[in-house]
Amino acid sequence: MGKILEISNASVGYDDDIILRDINFSLSDLDFVGVIGPNGGGKTTLLRLLLGEIKPVKGSVKYFPMAPNETMFGYLPQVSSIDHKFPISVLEVVLSGLLGRKRIGGRYTKHDKKLALEMLERMSIADLRGKAIGELSGGQMQRVFLSRALVSHPRLLILDEPNTFVDNKFEKELYQLLKELNKEMAILMVSHDLGTITTHVKTIACVNRNLHYHPSNVISTEQLAAYDCPIQLITHGTVPHTVLPKHSK
């Protein structure tokens, strides 16, 4: 148990176009952070910064690995970023989640395949293992990409809008699953869905050019206004929620 990563005074972007300014943020084991904020506010940029995809122009991102060979991240990208016609099978996709553990050019072992198949079974989609990615429904595809993210047992699971393109049944299962996973790993989830976020996460990060960390899953209109975080609301059914007025800057 301990700190996983720490961002200090980091700015991201180009000289004339700073997307995130002077952000401070840290993540520890078993955290469950919901990331909210308007489109174009820098949510995806924050994920790319965490993943080490982009370097800050100012400030630093520090990682605190516990074991030399641990898998730090499991990453679930937005489904819309995936080429659905790509010739690749479900099992191959899940196996790609183990690539980081290998030397470059290393072969997959029987054990790797067993891990991948167990993961598919846990997601109850083992029967789809030979299917091409393009033959799946939205919910099935999300399960496959979640399997890929989880197969290496990461310390931190990063989810970019996991509840888009999926049916209600899968969404319920997803949150149940995340609750279980959170007993073993930290989770950071980007979502448009404030209602869902507040019922499932432990803490909230509001991202809109700046980052305001809110150390609770209850957030009020006034606080959102103070954080300058006008978010788009999508609500489903009976989840308790408050519809917040759009506030001026």
Partner 1 sequence: MFQIFKDFFDFQFITNAFLAALLVAVAAGLVGSYIVARRLVFLSGGITHASFGGIGIAYYLGLNPILGAAVFAVLTAFGVEALSQKFTVREDSAIGILWSVGMAIGVFFVFLTPGYAPNLMSFLFGSILTVSTQDIVLLLILDAAMIAFFILFYRPILYLAFDPVFARTQKVPEKLFTYILKAFVAITIVLSIRLVGIILLISLLTIPPTIANLFTKRFDRIIYISIIVGFVGAILGLVVSYGLNVPSGVTIILALTIIFLISRITRYVMVKIKTQYA
Interaction of residue 137 with partner 1, rule CB under 8 A: no
Interaction of residue 65 with partner 1, rule CB under 8 A: no
Interaction of residue 170 with partner 1, rule CB under 8 A: no
Query: Which residues 186-245 are close enough to bind partner 1 by CB under 8 A?
Result: none
Amino acid at 131: K
- Of these, 62, 80, 88, 239, which contacts partner 1 (CB under 8 A)? 88
Contact 174, 163 (CB under 8 A): yes
Q: Nearest 5°: phi and psi at 103?
A: -65, 155
Total residues at interface with partner 1 (CB under 8 A): 26
Least gap, CB of 169 to partner 1 (angstroms): 26
**Distance, CA of 91 to CA of 128 (rounded, Å):** 8
DSSP-assigned states of every residue in 40-98: TSSHHHHHHHHTTSS--SEEEEEE--SSTT---EEEE--GGGS-TT---BHHHHHHGGG
The residue among 45 and 196 lying less far from partner 1, judged by its C-beta, is 45
**Distance, CA of 144 to CA of 127 (rounded, Å):** 12
Question: With left for phi above 0 and alpha for psi between -120 and 50, is residue 211 left, alpha or beta?
Answer: beta
- Of these, 30, 57, 82, 233, which contacts partner 1 (CB under 8 A)? 82
Contact 170, 211 (CB under 8 A): no
The residue among 148 and 192 lying less far from partner 1, judged by its C-beta, is 148
Interaction of residue 53 with partner 1, rule CB under 8 A: yes
- Of these, 6, 92, 173, 228, which contacts partner 1 (CB under 8 A)? 92
The residue among 86 and 167 lying less far from partner 1, judged by its C-beta, is 86
| Tokens linked to 60 | 């630093």
Interaction of residue 109 with partner 1, rule CB under 8 A: no
- Which residues sit at the interface with partner 1, rule CB under 8 A? 51, 53, 73, 75, 77, 81-83, 86-89, 92-93, 95-97, 99-100, 104-105, 108, 132, 134-135, 148
